[in-house]
Amino acid sequence: MRINRALAKLGYGSRRSVEELVRAGKVRVNGAVVTDLATQVDPERDRITVAGRKAPRQSSSPHVSAFYKPRGVLSTWKDERGRKCLADYFMSRGAERVFAVGRLDRDSEGLLLITNDGELAHRLMHPSFEVPRTYEVTVSPQPDADALERLSSVTKLPDGPVQPLHVKLRGIKGAESVVAVTLTEGRNRLVRRMFTAHGFEVLRLRRVRFGGVSLGRLRPGRSRQLSVAETARLHAQVTPQHGRPKKPAVL
């Protein structure tokens, strides 16, 4: 495959962004500097280095898994302070590079996608593709109709406005309520900040859907490999149509 596609699949960014690395002379294949974007490489056999660091080898079989991140676990593969993270749940895959798609903060839980396909991971997280994410948020106090209307409208935050695709009251238990909210962006602690801005205390936050993949009956700390149909839906949502990102339907 072409060098820019190979680097994109290894997680160095989109095909366009890695072109800059190649043109800048920062990429070597089997010891030789490569600046021609038409250069063909085999990621499984060729020795590729980027900015002096060896690139991981790409598995010949791209895979995507659904993982239920428990509350209290970091969405990273390593933590210098020794806190629990993704590496505690997934065995080492040797030199293969694996990506977590759609980070959740430490206090949140629910669906993460785990894949060795760097290009797919990059596209799923890129805001231009507007891949929908659905969360179940347990809040206090109970939101009335006016509050739900405000949550559904534009909320102004310090880093820019946000407007959900869909907001719905799912259930009420005493002073607590569960609200389902669907967004097409993944800014840092965005859901929590949106509810806080409207005077709600977030007691629990769980992502139950990402793109066309649902958490389903998956238990905390467990994972499952996606079906062929689920993987195909993810690819379809991030496949450009006529040179522009495809806008996904509300799920």
For the chain, residues classed under CATH 3.30.2350.10 are 132-210
- Residue 130, both tokens: 């507007």
CB of 59 within 8 A of CB of 97? Answer: no
Residues of the chain with CATH 3.30.70.580: 64-128+217-237
- The yes-or-no verdict on residue 237 having pLDDT over 80 is yes
Q: Considering 42, 88, 105, 146, which one is annotated as catalytic?
A: 105
pLDDT at 164 over 50: yes
pLDDT at 173 over 90: no
Start-to-end CA span in the chain (Å): 34
Whole-number pLDDT of residue 4: 85
Distance CA 237, CA 189 (A): 24
According to CATH, what is the number of the domain 132-210? 3.30.2350.10
Please choose, from the candidates 191, 196, 195, 233, the residue with its C-alpha nearest in 3D space to the C-alpha of residue 213.
Answer: 233
Is 146 designated active site? no
Question: What is the C-alpha separation between 192 and 82, in angstroms, rounded?
Answer: 26
Which segments of the chain belong to CATH 3.10.290.10? 3-54
Q: Which of 18-22, 57-61, 121-125, 244-248 has the lowest mean pLDDT?
A: 244-248
Computed on alpha carbons and rounded to an integer, the radius of gyration of the chain in Å comes to 20
Closest to 167 (Cα-Cα) out of 196, 145, 141, 188: 145
Q: What is the pLDDT of residue 245?
A: 46
Name the nearest CA neighbour of 147 among 99, 194, 100, 101: 194
Range 231-243 average pLDDT = 80
What class has domain 64-128+217-237? alpha beta
Under CATH, which number does the domain 3-54 receive?
3.10.290.10
**What's the whole-model pTM score?**
0.76
Distance of CA 199 to the CA centre of its chain: 28
CB-based burial label for 80 (10 Å; 0-12, 13-18, 19+): exposed
Mean pLDDT for 10-29 is 82
CB atoms within 10 A of CB 47: 12
What is the residue type of 5?
R
CA angle 205, 226, 228 (to 5 degrees): 140
CA distance 20 to 79: 30
pLDDT band at 95; cut points 50, 70, 90: low
